[in-house]
Amino acid sequence: MTDGGTTEERSTLRRWLDSDIVQSSPFWLPPFLLMGFFVYAAIGWNLLLSLTEYSGFGDPDYSNLGLHNYRAMLDDPGMWAATRNTFVLLVGFTVVCLIVGLLLALLLDREIRFSRSFRTIYLLPFALSFIVTAQFWRWMYNVNNGIVNQFIGLFGIGPYNWLGSPKLVLGSVIFALVWQFSGYTMIIYLAALRSIPNDQYEAARVDGASTVRMYWRVIVPQLRPAMVSATVTLVLFALKAFDFLYATFDGYRPRRGADILATKMVRESFGRSEWAYGSSIALMLFVLSLGVIAPYLYNQYKRGNL
């Protein structure tokens, strides 16, 4: 009876070792640790850095933490411009992409549904790398001999400095990105369209709906889940449009009017060695991304899809 306590301890240990969470740990623990260290710890460290005054060479000083970087942001006109541009790019690019992709998908779906032939040509731009598209659009937008100016020149318009003028540059960038991404949006919509049975189209027609009304009232509303997931992807791409701008402008110094948070973040950190300030911009970007993805995840969670 004297070693009863030991027995109890041993059985508690035994039970703990036998529990599902311990038994399954070889499967979840390694990815958990890797993700935790390289993603979440990095985010945490970034937050910490953004509270310091770390700049130039040397080591960060963690003894004097404060929100001065965030305060500095409020007084930085470049920051406001970058935030505004980011939002314009985000909204403009996403909305136009969704509309163009939807129209393409509807047209293509009719083609497949009613005559059974398929074209992948619309998806091709999406398969190209950002670097290729950027170079390609630099030629297209060339002030002197770009196709765009040549073309509108036929109607006596232009030429315009598409990538040079602060008023035009953001629109030009959005247009190029839409060209590249609407194919992707189309594929998402097309997959959703394919899952709508023919009966739905026929029922709507027998109910007396015209083609436009049929799509507007019966088919397009059923594409809502596809639209939500396409939107999330597009917004995340827009937030990260950095590589496209980098390739278009040969570095992270885009023309005035096309600076976004991502380019500014890299410029502050790696161009000017303002590490702490760059970190605080990174955190802003992170919060923005979270703002997009969190409602989506919550929605998915509520519908039991997670």
Among 44, 153, 221, 251, binds other proteins (CB under 8 A): 221
Closest approach, Cβ 138 to other proteins, in A, equals 44
Closest approach, Cβ 237 to other proteins, in A, equals 28
Q: Smaller CB distance to other proteins: residue 173 or 226?
A: 226
Closest approach, Cβ 32 to other proteins, in A, equals 36
Cα separation, 194 vs 258, in Å, equals 38
Cα separation, 69 vs 20, in Å, equals 46
Q: Does residue number 228 form part of the binding site for other proteins (CB under 8 A)?
A: no
Which range touches other proteins (CB under 8 A), out of 29-37, 71-79, 176-184, 206-214?
206-214
Q: Does residue number 210 form part of the binding site for other proteins (CB under 8 A)?
A: yes
Count other C-beta atoms under 10 Å from residue 76's C-beta.
16
In contact, 285 and 264? CB cutoff 8 Å: no
Among 21, 121, 206, 306, binds other proteins (CB under 8 A): 206
Which range touches other proteins (CB under 8 A), out of 120-128, 133-141, 221-229, 254-262?
221-229
State the DSSP string of 5-66.
HHHHHHHHHHHHHHSHHHHTHHHHHHHHHHHIIIIIIHHHHHHHHHTS---SSS---TTS--
Closest approach, Cβ 221 to other proteins, in A, equals 5
Q: Does residue number 212 form part of the binding site for other proteins (CB under 8 A)?
A: no
Which range touches other proteins (CB under 8 A), out of 95-103, 171-179, 219-227, 286-294?
219-227
Cα separation, 278 vs 272, in Å, equals 9
Which range touches other proteins (CB under 8 A), out of 49-57, 194-202, 227-235, 264-272?
194-202
Cα separation, 92 vs 281, in Å, equals 22
Cα separation, 216 vs 16, in Å, equals 58
In contact, 182 and 97? CB cutoff 8 Å: yes
Q: Smaller CB distance to other proteins: residue 7 or 200?
A: 200
- DSSP collapsed to 3 states, 236-300: HHHHCCHHHHHHHCCCCCCCCCCCCHHHHHHHHHHHCCCHHHHHHHHHHHHHHHHHHHHHHHHHH
Count other C-beta atoms under 10 Å from residue 217's C-beta.
12
Q: Does residue number 256 form part of the binding site for other proteins (CB under 8 A)?
A: no
Q: Does residue number 197 form part of the binding site for other proteins (CB under 8 A)?
A: yes
Closest approach, Cβ 204 to other proteins, in A, equals 8
Mask: binding to other proteins, 88-127, rule CB under 8 A, as x and -?
----------------------------x-----------
Q: Does residue number 295 form part of the binding site for other proteins (CB under 8 A)?
A: no
> Taking the alpha carbons of 33, 35, 40, 42 in that order, is the dihedral positive or negative?
positive
Amino acid of residue 210: S
Q: Smaller CB distance to other proteins: residue 23 or 222?
A: 222
Q: Does residue number 304 form part of the binding site for other proteins (CB under 8 A)?
A: no
Among 8, 61, 207, 243, binds other proteins (CB under 8 A): 207
Residues that bind other proteins (CB under 8 A): 116, 197, 199-200, 202-210, 213, 217-218, 221-222, 224
